[in-house]
């Protein structure tokens, strides 16, 4: 007779039912019973830090548009990953996260490695947390976590004591979750009519696109809507993904992050429709209203939190992909004015011989040489505005960054995108300071043969922090002296090589151009990562 199925067996069956193929982990002792002799149909991916575990799973989930599975080790592992979980939530990445716990049978004695109140440690990052009351409830909790992660687009946590896996499964118990969940995506005619009236009664409307509209259907719908309205389209400030083709003639650029400049950008428009973006993402805080008096604002988003906190005249809670195309069909075409409504991009040429490299020269080369379907993963805060200005996202998922703003996302997310089966060139543009938050992820890229190009802009310090300190000094007349030192001694290419990842360093424009000419044409098919450290001015 075959042995009776265990909770572990049933849990793996649940993961298979929903199509899980890969688990990302940095294992600890409380996960040994789960992971030892892992079934051959589940691939185990090792990361050297829990932040990279969640970052890689986030990239994988975004590449596949379905949940990824991550495993964390009780308090220490979950604590290390909380920032990455918060980023995953704001990036709308569906994750099923298993968190190990000490043996249930002596938890009351708080033995070594007890995860004390793990649910509180994780909050508020997860969209859902479960601590199954019995071992037999673990498979059902996993099934529900899959739906919660998918529906609410964020990490769903299941906390499992280490002895639960060997317990007999509740084979006669119904699984407390649907085998399949289908979400209706059709927009109601009455809602479309109200949005059509909102836009139709405006004399000078404008569109704002955000990360929530970053899919092919939303891009098609928004492009058609912009064409009908003959209006400019802005990208939300600090958008983690591009909601509109940024090489389109009606693309106006990225909205300013402060209210004063935002009012100027939207001046003259009497109706603003924000699609897939909150109204409005800002930093730093400035007084006043978002728009000038008399401007009406509406938002279309499938994120209830975005809808609930947006100070608008009309909020529509629906998938942008279900709204934009049908709405465009209802809108009568407007006659385009004589003024250009999009932006003009002038790429910098090569610097003078012997002149130091600045980030704009790096981005100018990327803009000229990147394939149209390339994915740029950004984590270079001091040069992000330049990247936005010079390197457009030309296809859905053409741009990705950490929506939460914390560092350590870029390198593992880029790796996770390619591990998720994305057959597109992936280039991570990372500051040298940012790279140090998740440098361990390069080992995983090298070990698993993940062909990403990581361009590290090395200026030997925290350039964005230096800028902020200087601005603070200007405002307060205090001098703006930063107390932190630079770190010119750090060699990111050297660190990469020590982790088994191939790396090169470019100090001149010619060296940079040579490497890009060599690598970019074959990047989509590349099976080996490369770190390209570029010495740039701050």
| pLDDT of 171 strictly over 90 | no
Alpha carbons 276 and 241: distance in angstroms, whole number: 10
Residues 441 and 312 in one domain: no
Question: What pLDDT, on a 0 to 100 scale, did the predictor assign at position 477?
Answer: 74
Q: Are 22 and 133 in the same domain? A: yes
Element (H, E) at 157: strand 155-161
Q: Which of 172-181, 315-324, 452-461 has the lowest mean pLDDT?
A: 172-181
User: Domain check: are 140 and 89 in the same one?
Assistant: yes
Please determine, for residue 1, whether its predicted confidence score (pLDDT) is greater than 60. Answer: no
Task: Answer yes or no: do 196 and 113 share one domain.
Answer: no
Residues 25 and 77 in one domain: yes
Residues 6+ positions from 315 with CB-CB distance below 8 Å: 298, 299, 301, 307, 308
Q: Look at residues 350, 351, 395 and name the one whose alpha carbon lies nearest to residue 370.
A: 395
Q: What is the DSSP string of 478-516?
A: S-----S---TT--HHHHHHHTT--EEEE-SHHHHHHHH
Strand partners, 431: 457
- Beta bridge partner(s), residue 376: 399, 427
Q: Do 79 and 132 share a domain, yes or no?
A: yes
Count of domains observed in the chain: 3
Q: pLDDT confidence of 46, banded at 50, 70, 90?
A: very high
Q: Let me know if residue 349 belongs to a domain.
A: no
Q: What is the pLDDT of residue 158?
A: 98
Among candidate residues 16, 19, 18, 97, the one with its CA nearest the CA of residue 56: 97
Q: What is the mean pLDDT of residues 430-459?
A: 96
Are 33 and 60 in contact by the 8 Å Cβ rule? The answer is: no
Task: Supply angle C-alpha 145, 150, 156, rounded to 5.
Answer: 35
Are residue 145 and residue 254 in the same domain, yes or no? no
Asked, for residue 402, whether it belongs to a domain, the answer is: yes
Note whether residue 348 is domain-resident.
Answer: no
Spatial CB neighbours of 533, under 8 Å, sequence gap ≥ 6? 432, 456, 458, 491, 492, 493, 496, 503, 504, 505, 506
Has residue 300 been placed in a domain? yes
Task: Give this prediction's pTM.
Answer: 0.92
Q: Is 347 inside any structural domain?
A: no
Tens-place pLDDT, residues 180-196: 776 666 778 999 999 99
The pLDDT, as a whole number, for residue 101 is 95
Angle at 146 between CA 140 and CA 152, to 5 degrees: 130
Residue 263 counted as domain residue: yes
Q: Does residue 341 sit within a domain?
A: no
Q: Residue 27 is encoded by which pair of tokens?
A: 């294992």
On whether both 376 and 525 belong to a single domain, the answer is: yes
Residues 394 and 290 placed together within one structural domain of the fold? no
Residue 2: is its pLDDT beyond 70? no
* Neighbour order of strands in the sheet with 43-46: 43-46, 22-25, 68-72, 95-101, 155-161, 128-130
Percent above pLDDT 90 for the chain: 79
User: Which pLDDT band holds residue 433 (cuts at 50, 70, 90)?
Assistant: very high
- The structure tokens listed for 322 are 């279900």
**Residue 71's domain is classified under what CATH number?**
3.40.50.970
User: How do residues 473-520 score in pLDDT, each as one tens digit?
Assistant: 777 777 778 787 877 888 999 999 999 999 999 999 999 999 999 999
Q: State mean pLDDT over 230-248.
A: 96
Residue 402 structural domain:
359-535
The whole-number pLDDT of residue 356 equals 85
The residue out of 100, 134, 166 marking a domain boundary is 166
Average pLDDT, the chain: 92
- Cα–Cα distance between 272 and 399 in angstroms, integer? 24
- Lowest model confidence (mean pLDDT) among 90-99, 151-160, 243-252, 280-289: 280-289
State the average pLDDT over residues 139-154. Answer: 93
- Given 104, 131, 166, the domain boundary residue is 166
* Segment holding 314, helix H or strand E: strand 314-317
Cα separation, 199 vs 452, whole angstroms: 43
pLDDT tens digits, 225-237: 999 999 999 999 9
Rounded to whole angstroms, what are the CA distances from 226 to 194, 203, 220? 18, 14, 10
Position 454 scores a pLDDT of: 98
pLDDT at residue 183, as a whole number: 66
Residue 57's contacts (CB-CB under 8 Å, 6 or more residues apart) are 24, 68, 69, 70, 88, 93, 95, 416
* Confidence tier at 300 by pLDDT (50, 70, 90): very high
Residue 413 belongs to a domain: yes
CATH number, residue 257:
3.40.50.1220
């Amino acid at each position: 007779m075959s042995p009776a199925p265990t909770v572990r067996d049933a849990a793996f069956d649940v993961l298979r039912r929903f199509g899980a193929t890969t688990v990302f982990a940095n294992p600890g002792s409380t996960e040994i019973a789960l992971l030892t002799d892992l079934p051959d149909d589940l691939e185990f991916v090792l990361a050297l830090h829990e932040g990279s575990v969640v970052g890689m799973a986030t990239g994988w989930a975004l590449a596949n548009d379905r949940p990824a599975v991550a495993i964390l080790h009780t308090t220490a592992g979950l604590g290390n990953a909380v920032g990455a979980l918060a980023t995953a939530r704001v990036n709308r990445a569906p994750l099923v996260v298993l968190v190990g716990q000490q043996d249930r049978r002596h938890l009351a004695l708080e033995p070594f490695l007890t995860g004390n109140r793990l649910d509180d440690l994780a909050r508020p990052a997860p969209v859902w947390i479960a601590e199954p009351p019995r071992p037999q409830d673990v498979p059902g909790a996993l099934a529900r976590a899959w739906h919660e992660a998918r529906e609410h687009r964020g990490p769903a946590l299941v906390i499992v004591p280490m002895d639960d896996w060997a317990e007999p499964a509740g084979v006669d118990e119904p699984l407390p979750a649907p085998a399949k969940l289908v979400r209706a995506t059709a927009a109601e005619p009455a809602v479309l009519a109200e949005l059509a009236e909102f836009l139709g009664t405006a004399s000078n409307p404008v569109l704002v696109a955000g990360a929530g509209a970053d899919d092919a259907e939303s891009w098609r719908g928004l492009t058609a809507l912009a064409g009908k309205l003959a209006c400019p389209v802005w990208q939300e400030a600090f958008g983690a993904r591009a909601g509109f083709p940024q090489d389109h003639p009606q693309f106006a650029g990225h909205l300013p992050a402060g209210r004063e400049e935002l009012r100027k950008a939207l001046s003259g428009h009497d109706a603003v429709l924000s699609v897939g973006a909150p109204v409005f993402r800002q930093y730093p805080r400035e007084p006043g209203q978002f728009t000038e008096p008399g401007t009406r604002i509406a938002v279309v988003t499938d994120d209830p939190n975005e809808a609930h906190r947006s100070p608008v005249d009309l909020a529509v809670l629906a998938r942008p992909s279900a709204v934009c195309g049908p709405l465009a069909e209802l809108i009568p075409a407007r006659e385009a004015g004589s003024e250009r409504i999009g932006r003009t991009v002038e790429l910098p040429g090569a610097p003078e011989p012997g002149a130091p490299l600045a980030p704009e020269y790096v981005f100018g080369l990327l803009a000229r040489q990147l394939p149209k379907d390339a994915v740029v993963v950004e984590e270079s805060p001091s040069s992000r505005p330049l990247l936005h200005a010079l390197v457009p996202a030309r296809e859905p998922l053409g741009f990705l960054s950490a929506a939460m703003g914390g560092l350590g996302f870029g390198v593992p997310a880029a790796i996770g995108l390619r591990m998720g089966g994305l057959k597109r060139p992936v280039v991570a543009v990372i500051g040298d300071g940012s790279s140090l938050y998740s440098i361990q992820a390069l080992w995983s890229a090298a070990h698993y043969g993940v062909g990403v190009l990581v361009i590290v802009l090395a200026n030997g310090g925290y350039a964005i922090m230096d800028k902020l300190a200087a601005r603070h000094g200007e405002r307060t007349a205090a001098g703006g002296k930063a107390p932190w030192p630079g770190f010119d001694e750090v060699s990111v290419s050297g660190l990469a090589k020590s982790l088994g990842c191939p790396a090169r360093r470019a100090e001149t424009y010619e060296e940079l151009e040579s490497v890009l000419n060599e690598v970019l044409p074959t990047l989509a098919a590349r099976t080996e990562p490369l770190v390209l450290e570029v010495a740039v001015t701050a």
